[in-house]
Amino acid sequence: MIVHDVSSTDAPHIRIKPVEGWSGFGLKDLWDYRELLYFLTWRDVKVRYKQTAIGAAWAVVQPFMTMVVFTMIFGYLAGMSSEGQPYPLFSFAALMPWTYFSKSLSQSVTSVVGNAHLITKVYFPRLLLPISAVASGLIDFAISFVFFLGMMAWYGTMPTWRMLLAPVFLLLTILTALAVSFWLSAINVRYRDVGQAIPFLIHLWLYASPVAYSLRELPEKWQLLLAFNPMTGVIEGFRWALLGNTAPDVRSMSVSAAVVLALLFSGVVFFRRIEATFADVV
Amino acid sequence: MSGIAIRVKNISKKYEIAAGKRRHDTLRDHVSDAIRSFVRSNGRSPRPRANEFWSLKDVSFEVKRGEIVGVIGRNGAGKSTLLKILSRITAPTMGEAGIYGRVASLLEVGTGFHGELTGRENIYLNGAILGMRKAEIDRKFDEIVAFSEVEKFIDTPVKRYSTGMHVRLAFAVAAHLEPEILLVDEVLAVGDAAFQKKCLNKMEEVGHEGRTVLFVSHNMASITRLCPRVILLDGGRILKDGPAHDAVAAYSEHWLDIGAVHEWNDPATAPGGAVARLRAVRVRTENSLMSDGVDIRQPVAIELEYEVLQSGYVLLPYLNLHNQEGAFVLEALDVDSEWRGRSRPQGVYASTAWIPGNLLADGVHFVSVGLSTMSPDIMQFHVYDAAAFHVIDSMDGDSARGDWTGALGGAVVRPLLKWTTVQREAPDGRSGRSLTRA
């Protein structure tokens, strides 16, 4: 059982009150329920590829096919610069975090609504739902990363010490996915429009991120504007860490990071403010 | 540590029922509402906004450590809301409550069960959802499997389970929770009789271990057996809080207050939406007399009288029946071909449903009525327990009980069936007539 520690014996372990104002981040509650986070994530992973013919290979198929298409259209036909890298490597290095991000988003936006049967029947910190949706995609990411290492070997590209910094950029991806997920999954409880808009939003977001093209192809002022899209920092970071492309600009990197933190913070605040009404509205 | 396990102080909960009940809003609704109210700001009244509905009103009580308290009340009395507030699923609108100890709530069995996962996997998932630690589940795993009686299928996905197996596995997990305070809703109303008994025994065990239990149920038999103290809720307030037999007696008598006829003479308070408004619900028998008591053999008419305020909608009037144990007896929609699929002009209508004689069991029946428009599907009204009537068993030998005058098992309905009995074999070994004839 989850033990709610009490310092004073007279204070209730759980105090139930009307929702008024700010009730904190609930980090302790999240920590108490960490095992449930594990089980929810594990459930999502287990169920995802049940009754599919190729199972976890799907984790690679999607970014791989996108890479093939991008290579044909942008690499060969449009002849876009890939900063001296083979275009497949150049695009796959970006497609890994991008696929993880977009899958996390589409999973987590419906995570609260999709678990209505839990929300109306049992208490747990509601933040676990979008968090577990984002966490469950990490397995797919790991699989496609292994595939990418194979691609690097195929093209004879040597990894450098910078690859050790890839986790930093992965963390930035996770935080971005979480931040957007908190906002959208909460809004989706009330306005199902979000669920309708999300495929479209992801589609637009893809083109606003330097996945198919190089950031340096753009005029200077556009580059800075694009930095407000946190996925720009993520993708630039990944390319630099994995392929040794031009180091990301410190200024745009900090803009990306600042945007993520602001989104994340406000997302948690927003989610926590309206989570008490989820069971009544969903 | 103080002797209190649950303290509830002046808890109230308000729900807002939109005039046209929607499952969820869309941005468009809000935008169009805003535009509409802006456009109409000069003179015309805006679209009627949400109705308030107090599901709980100023409820206070305390439960001592080790006490087992039952909560009863009719549908919509606020039982489930109370449980949801104490379980932290929804927040109260006013008041506060304190829970003193480790708490687990069971609002249903098998919360979070996933059909694609095996029995083993679901035990872990469901256990974690109910608040168990992994180490705790590991420790109790064999015991849970044994209790569930599904050992052989533990590595089969639960979607291949029968309903009975599903329920047994789910209850087995729940039965192995070890909270200090347990909040339970109606979960025993599932499974076969033998397993229900096993669960009741397990619950009693729980009580004897000094655990505090708050038990919401419609099942009077299990309530009186398990709970020395019972709280009776009605219309969101506590009507009675005391020894079990007092509260149960008060509950059974309480239906008399409802009566067979319910009329709303004031349009302002009558339930309804923009398209239709309820005027009356009447229960009567063939000879047209309003009646509380109906012979079990006689047909019963339930009449909904309502006013259609806006023309152009196809309407779906319906009724539900619950018995005094709270069991859902039947639901029926108006199938009269006269107005089926036809949009209705304004006016006052009466839709009458005839429940055949020799169908319902004896005892009190509560009638809930409602009406919704067909497309879009917008609920105009739904009134719980709008009327009640008492089906009286005549024991004259021509009802389904035949010549038996003793107690019956308590089935929800008691239809008179066509029976045929023939002698197939005589004691001297010759085949009975019906076989030799063939």
CA distance, residue B356 to nearest chain A CA (Å): 37
Name the average pLDDT for chain B: 82
Name the B residues in 124-153 with CB < 8 Å from any A CB. 124-125, 128-134, 136
Give the predicted TM-score (pTM) of the model.
Answer: 0.72
Regarding whether B58 and B184 lie in a shared domain, the answer is yes
Is the pLDDT confidence value at A224 over 60? yes
Name the B residues in 307-336 with CB < 8 Å from any A CB. none
Regarding whether B236 and B316 lie in a shared domain, the answer is no
CA distance, residue B31 to nearest chain A CA (Å): 12
Q: Across the interface, do A12 and B99 touch by the CB < 8 Å criterion? A: yes
Q: Which of B93, B98, B178 sits opposite A18 (nearest CB)?
A: B93
Regarding whether B215 and B76 lie in a shared domain, the answer is yes
Contacts of A193 in chain B (CB under 8 A): 26-28
Question: Does the residue B282 lie in any domain?
Answer: yes
pLDDT score of A126: 94
pLDDT score of B384: 81
Contacts of B24 in chain A (CB under 8 A): 189-192, 281-282
CA distance, residue B180 to nearest chain A CA (Å): 10
pLDDT score of A227: 85
Among chain B residues, CA nearest to A41: B125
Question: Does the residue B321 lie in any domain?
Answer: yes
Domain with residue B205: its CATH number is 3.40.50.300
Instruction: List the single range of A31-45, B22-36, B338-352, B357-371 with lowest mean pLDDT.
Output: B22-36
Q: Across the interface, do A46 and B116 touch by the CB < 8 Å criterion? A: yes
Regarding whether B329 and B279 lie in a shared domain, the answer is yes
Regarding whether B88 and B186 lie in a shared domain, the answer is yes
CA distance, residue B213 to nearest chain A CA (Å): 16
Rank A47-61, A104-118, A236-250, B22-36 by mean pLDDT and report only the highest.
A104-118
- Best mutation site among B100, B123, B133, B184 for testing chain A: the one with the most A CBs within 10 Å? B100
pLDDT score of B18: 55
User: What ipTM is given for this predicted complex?
Assistant: 0.85
3-state secondary structure chain A: CCCCCCCCCCCCCEEECCCCCCCCCCHHHHHHCHHHHHHHHHHHHHHHCCCCCCHHHHHHHHHHHHHHHHHHHHHHHCCCCCCCCCHHHHHHHHHHHHHHHHHHHHHHHCHHHHCHHHHCCCCCCCCHHHHHHHHHCHHHHHHHHHHHHHHHHHHCCCCCHHHHHHHHHHHHHHHHHHHHHHHHHHHHHHECHHHHHHHHHHHHHHHCCCCCCCHHHCCHHHHHHHHCCHHHHHHHHHHHHHHCCCCCCHHHHHHHHHHHHHHHHHHHHHHHHHHHHHHHHC
CA distance, residue A174 to nearest chain B CA (Å): 24
Question: Does the residue B145 lie in any domain?
Answer: no
The mean pLDDT of A137-146, rounded to a whole number, is 94
Tell me: the pLDDT tens digits for A62-91? 899 999 999 888 888 887 878 888 899 999
Domain with residue B312: its CATH number is 2.70.50.60
Rank A41-55, A184-198, B189-203 by mean pLDDT and report only the highest.
A184-198
Is the pLDDT confidence value at A275 over 70? yes
Domain that holds residue B25: 4-102+179-255
Regarding whether B339 and B205 lie in a shared domain, the answer is no
Q: Across the interface, do A122 and B112 touch by the CB < 8 Å criterion? A: yes
- Best mutation site among A41, A122, A191, A196 for testing chain B: the one with the most B CBs within 10 Å? A122
Q: Across the interface, do A121 and B26 touch by the CB < 8 Å criterion? A: no
Regarding whether B287 and B231 lie in a shared domain, the answer is no
CB atoms within 10 A of CB B161: 20
Question: Does the residue B376 lie in any domain?
Answer: yes
The mean pLDDT of A165-171, rounded to a whole number, is 93
pLDDT score of A8: 40
**Could you write out the DSSP letters of every residue in B175-236?**
HT---SEEEEESTTSSS-HHHHHHHHHHHHHHHHTT-EEEEE-S-HHHHHHH-SEEEEEETT
Cα A118 to Cα B61: distance, rounded to the nearest angstrom: 28
Tell me: the pLDDT tens digits for B272-315? 888 999 999 999 988 766 666 788 888 999 999 999 999 999 99
Instruction: List the single range of A4-8, A168-172, B53-57, B207-211 with lowest mean pLDDT.
Output: A4-8
Is the model more confident about B27 or about B54? B54
pLDDT score of A105: 95
pLDDT score of A52: 82
CA distance, residue A229 to nearest chain B CA (Å): 25
Is the pLDDT confidence value at A7 over 70? no
Is the pLDDT confidence value at B186 over 80? no
Could you say which of B211, B234, B255 is where a domain stops?
A: B255
Burial letters A95-133, b for 16+ CB under 10 A, else e:
bbbbbbbbbbbbbbbbbbbbbeebbbbbbbbbbbbbbbb
Regarding whether B333 and B199 lie in a shared domain, the answer is no
CA distance, residue A198 to nearest chain B CA (Å): 15
pLDDT score of B47: 43
A interface with B, Cβ–Cβ < 8 A, is: 1-4, 9-10, 12-19, 35-36, 38-40, 42-43, 46-47, 50-51, 117-124, 189-193, 276-277, 279-282
Q: Which of A17, A35, A190 sits opposite B25 (nearest CB)?
A: A190
pLDDT score of A3: 43
Q: Across the interface, do A46 and B99 touch by the CB < 8 Å criterion? A: no
Tell me: the pLDDT tens digits for B311-364? 999 999 999 998 876 778 999 999 998 998 899 999 999 999 999 999 999 888
Is the pLDDT confidence value at B34 over 60? no
Regarding whether B227 and B270 lie in a shared domain, the answer is no
Cα B160 to Cα B183: distance, rounded to the nearest angstrom: 30
Is the pLDDT confidence value at B79 over 50? yes
CA distance, residue A195 to nearest chain B CA (Å): 11
Token digits of residue B399? 């009802």
Question: Does the residue B81 lie in any domain?
Answer: yes
Q: Across the interface, do A122 and B91 touch by the CB < 8 Å criterion? A: no
pLDDT score of A18: 84
Contacts of A10 in chain B (CB under 8 A): 2
Question: Does the residue B358 lie in any domain?
Answer: yes
pLDDT score of A268: 94
Number of domains making up chain B: 2
Proportion of chain A above pLDDT 70, given as a percent: 96
Q: Across the interface, do A12 and B98 touch by the CB < 8 Å criterion? A: yes
Among chain A residues, CA nearest to B12: A18
pLDDT score of A221: 83
Give residue B257's pLDDT band: very low, low, confident or very high (50, 70, 90). Answer: low
Give residue B28's pLDDT band: very low, low, confident or very high (50, 70, 90). Answer: low
**Does the beta carbon of B103 lie under 8 angstroms from any beta carbon of chain A?**
yes
Give residue B40's pLDDT band: very low, low, confident or very high (50, 70, 90). Answer: very low
Regarding whether B193 and B57 lie in a shared domain, the answer is yes
Is the pLDDT confidence value at A2 over 70? no
Tell me: the pLDDT tens digits for A99-125? 999 999 999 999 999 999 999 999 999
Is the model more confident about A197 or about B247? A197
Contacts of A38 in chain B (CB under 8 A): 128, 134
Q: Which of A43, A46, A192 sits opposite B26 (nearest CB)?
A: A192
Residue pair B281/B367 in contact by the 8 Å Cβ criterion: yes
| Total CB pairs under 8 A between chain A and B | 129
Name the average pLDDT for chain A: 88
pLDDT score of B193: 59
CB atoms within 10 A of CB A34: 10
Question: Does the residue B75 lie in any domain?
Answer: yes
Regarding whether B248 and B283 lie in a shared domain, the answer is no
Give residue B410's pLDDT band: very low, low, confident or very high (50, 70, 90). Answer: confident
pLDDT score of B53: 82
pLDDT score of B89: 92
**Could you write out the DSSP letters of every residue in B82-143?**
HHHHHTTSS--SEEEEEE-S-EEEESSTTTT--TTSBHHHHHHHHHHHTT--HHHHHHHHHH
pLDDT score of A267: 94
Among chain A residues, CA nearest to B187: A121
Could you say which of B234, B255, B276 is where a domain stops?
A: B255
Q: Which of B15, B27, B128 sits opposite A39 (nearest CB)?
A: B128
Instruction: List the single range of A232-236, B8-12, B250-254 with lowest mean pLDDT.
Output: B250-254
What residues contact B198, with CB distance under 8 A and at least 6 apart? Answer: B147
Rank A190-199, A210-219, B14-23 by mean pLDDT and report only the highest.
A190-199
Could you say which of B255, B280, B310 is where a domain stops?
A: B255
Proportion of chain A above pLDDT 90, given as a percent: 52
Give residue B45's pLDDT band: very low, low, confident or very high (50, 70, 90). Answer: very low
Question: Does the residue B418 lie in any domain?
Answer: no
Among chain A residues, CA nearest to B123: A39
Regarding whether B383 and B303 lie in a shared domain, the answer is yes
Nearest by Cα to B367 from B317, B325, B394, B330: B330
pLDDT score of B251: 75
Is the pLDDT confidence value at B421 over 90? yes
**Could you write out the DSSP letters of every residue in B370-420?**
EEEESSS--EEEEEEEEEEEEEE---SSSSTTTT--S-----SB-------
Among chain B residues, CA nearest to A51: B116
Among chain A residues, CA nearest to B82: A16
Q: Across the interface, do B131 and A2 touch by the CB < 8 Å criterion? A: yes
Measured CA angle at A98 (ends A96, A101), to 5 deg: 110
Tell me: the pLDDT tens digits for B389-398? 888 887 777 8
